[in-house]
Amino acid sequence: MDLLVKPVRTLRGTVTVPGDKSVSHRAVMLGALARGETVIKNFLAGKDCLSTIDCFRKLGIDIKMPVAGTVRVRGRELHGLSEPEDILDAGNSGTTMRLLLGILSGQPFFSVITGDRSLRRRPMARVTGPLGLMGARVEGRRNGNLAPLAVRGGRLKPITFTSKVASAQVKSAVLLAGLFAEGETVFTEPCRSRDHTERMLRQFGAEVDISGGSIRVKGHPGLTGQKVNVPGDISSAAFLMAAAAALPGSDLTLQGVGVNPARNGIIEVLSDMGAEIEIFNYRQEGAEPVADIRVSNSKKLSGISVGGKMIPRLIDDIPALAVAAAMAEGKTEIRDAGELKVKESNRIYAVADLLAGFGAGVEELTDGLLIRGGRDLKGCICKSHGDHRIAMAAAVAGLLAGGETVVLNAECIDISFPGFYDVLKNIRVE
C-alpha cells in the first residue's frame, strides 16, 4: 500500500495514540509465566505484538482477545509452557525474538524461532552469548548470530553479566532467563535503557533490585497474574510531536502517553530545540508513569547536538527527530547512535536517504547523522525500507513539505501504529 500525503498548514486537536509496543509484549510474556489470569487493556494490536501472542499460543498458552484492545492471558506459571510443534515466528519483531530467547532458554524442551527477512539479518549473538553462559544451547547461522535459531533449553545457572550495548532487549532476555536460574542473576548496562521489564517483573511479584547500573533478579519467583493498563506509546506519539513542534501555529494534545524517564528523551530534546511542551495529568498507571502532552509552537525550531546517555532514551524516535531537525534553523548532530544500523532497517542510511529525497541537507555519520536544517522540503516519492518508523517519518516529512509526497509500501506502519493515517486526518488544518 502506498500512502499519499499532502502538506498541512498546522496540526491541531486532541488525540490518543495506540498502546505501547514494549509494554504490550512484556504483559503477554509475564502473563504466560504467572499464576492466574492477566488482563491487558489498551494492548497494541500491531503486527509485532500479535507475533508475540502467536508464539505463546504455540507454546500452549490460552490467549483471548474478547474485545478490541483487551487481551486475556491464562497463565500457566513458570514451568507451564509446552514444547511447540512447529517453528515459532517472530515476524518483524526483535523484541519478540530476543525476549523469547531468554524464556526458551529456561525450558526443558527444544524450540526453533525465526522471523522475516529483516529480523533474520539482525544480530542475535548479543543475546545468545549471555544465554549460552547461563547454560542454554542456542544454534543458528553465523555461530548463533542469525535466526532461525534452535534452542535446547534446560537448567540454567545465574550469571553476573556486563553488557557492552545499552539494550533493553539484551537486558530483558537475561533477566527473563534469570527467572529460571537457581539464585541471583545480575545484569549491568553501560547506560540506562528502558526498564519496562524490571517494572513489570516487580508488579507481577518478582524480586528485582536495582542499584547503579546493575539489576538483580532472583530465580524461581512465584509470579501472579495482573491487570495491566498499557500506556500510549511515546514512540508513536513522537511522530506527531515532531510534526507539531516543527509547524509554527500547531497546538496538539496527546492523551495518556507513557512518560517513563528511560523513554521520554524526545520531550526533552524537542523542548531544547524550542518547542513549547506542557506535561499535565501526570499519573502512575500500574508500573508505568503516564501523562497528557501538549505540543505547541509559535516559532521555528533550532538545531541541537544529541548523543551519549540521551540516545537510549529516544533511540526509536530518531527518525521523527531527524525530520524536525530538517525543519529547524541550523545544524543538528546525532552521535553515539550506531545501534540505528541494526534496527528494522539501517536507520542511519534510511533516514539520510529519506531526507535527501526531500531536498534536506543531510550527511550519514558512522554513528549518527548530521542534518543542516532550514531548507524548504519538497514533496517526493519515497521508500519505506519496509521499516514502520521510516514510513511514518516519511509521512511526517510529507506533511511539512511543499507539494505531494507518496510513501511506497507504507503497510509496515501497522507494525506499531495501526490507524496512523486516520489520526493524521483528524489533526490536519489545511
Q: Going residue by residue from 330 to 369, which x/- string records binding to ligand S3P, judged by CB under 6 A?
A: ---------x------------------------------
All three cell numbers of 371: 542534518
- DSSP class of residue 156 equals B
CB of 98 to ligand S3P, least distance (A): 7
Task: Kindly state whether residue 292 participates in binding ligand S3P, applying the rule CB under 6 A.
Answer: no
**380 vs 403: CA distance, rounded Å:** 8
Instruction: By CB under 6 A, tell whether 95 contacts ligand S3P.
Output: yes
Interface map 172-211 toward ligand S3P (x if CB under 6 A): x--------------------xx-----------------
Instruction: Using the rule CB under 6 A, give the single segment among 165-173, 182-190, 296-304, 350-358 that binds ligand S3P.
Output: 165-173
Site string for ligand S3P, 51-80 (x = CB under 6 A): ------------------------------
User: Cell for 131?
Assistant: 544465554
Number of neighbouring beta carbons within 10 Å of residue 165:
17
Confirm if 177 and 138 have CB atoms less than 8 A apart: no
Structural Rg of the chain based on CA atoms: 21
- The residue among 169 and 384 lying less far from ligand S3P, judged by its C-beta, is 169
* Under rule CB under 6 A, residue 315 binds ligand S3P: yes
Question: Of the ranges 11-19, 168-176, 179-187, 393-401, which one interacts with ligand S3P (CB under 6 A)?
Answer: 168-176
Cell output for 379: 514533496
By C-alpha distance, which of 204, 217, 182, 177 is closest to 30?
204
- Which residue type occupies 115? G
Residue number of the CB closest to ligand S3P reads 22
Within 3-42, the residues that bind ligand S3P by CB under 6 A are: 22
Question: Is residue 316 among the annotated active site residues?
Answer: yes
Residue 310 as a binder of ligand S3P (CB under 6 A): the answer is no
Residues listed for the chain? 430
93 binds ligand S3P (CB under 6 A): no
How many CB atoms neighbour CB 280 within 10 A?
9
User: How many positions of this chain bind ligand S3P (CB under 6 A)?
Assistant: 11
C-alpha distances in Å from residue 145, one per residue of 9, 172, 240, 265: 47, 18, 35, 30
**One-letter amino acid identity for 76?**
R
Residue 116 found at the interface with ligand S3P (CB under 6 A) = no
Query: Alpha-carbon distance 338 to 320, whole Å?
Result: 17
Q: Is 169 in the site for ligand S3P (CB under 6 A)?
A: yes
Q: How far is the CB of 350 from ligand S3P (least distance, A)?
A: 14
Nearest to 313 by CA among 186, 217, 189: 189
Binding to ligand S3P by residue 326, rule CB under 6 A? Answer: no
Contact pick of 11, 34, 147, 168 for ligand S3P (by CB under 6 A): 168
What CA–CA distance (Å, rounded) separates 313 from 334? 13
Give the single-character DSSP code of 374.
Answer: -
Q: CA geometry: angle at 64 spanning 35 and 151, to 5°?
A: 65
Smallest gap from Cβ 417 to ligand S3P, in A, equals 13
Q: 58 or 194, CB closer to ligand S3P? A: 194
- Asked if residue 167 binds ligand S3P (CB under 6 A), the reply is yes
Q: Which of 251, 316, 317, 414 is catalytic?
A: 316
Residue in 254, 262, 246, 403 with CA at minimum distance from that of residue 328: 246
Is position 260 an interface residue for ligand S3P (rule: CB under 6 A)? Answer: no
Question: Rounded distance, CA 122 to CA 99, Å?
Answer: 14
| Residue (76 or 389) nearer to ligand S3P, CB | 389
Asked if residue 134 lies in contact with residue 105, where contact means CB atoms within 8 angstroms, the answer is yes
Q: Is 316 in the site for ligand S3P (CB under 6 A)?
A: yes
Mark the segment that binds ligand S3P (CB under 6 A) among 29-37, 167-175, 182-190, 244-252. 167-175
Give Dmax (Cα) for the chain.
61
Distance CA 237, CA 254 (A): 7
Taking CB under 6 A as the binding criterion, the range among 27-35, 53-61, 163-171, 210-218 that sits at the site for ligand S3P is: 163-171
Name which of 166 and 400 has its Cβ closer to ligand S3P.
166
Q: Which residues lie near ligand S3P (CB under 6 A)?
A: 22, 95, 167-169, 172, 193-194, 315-316, 339
The residues assigned a catalytic role are 316
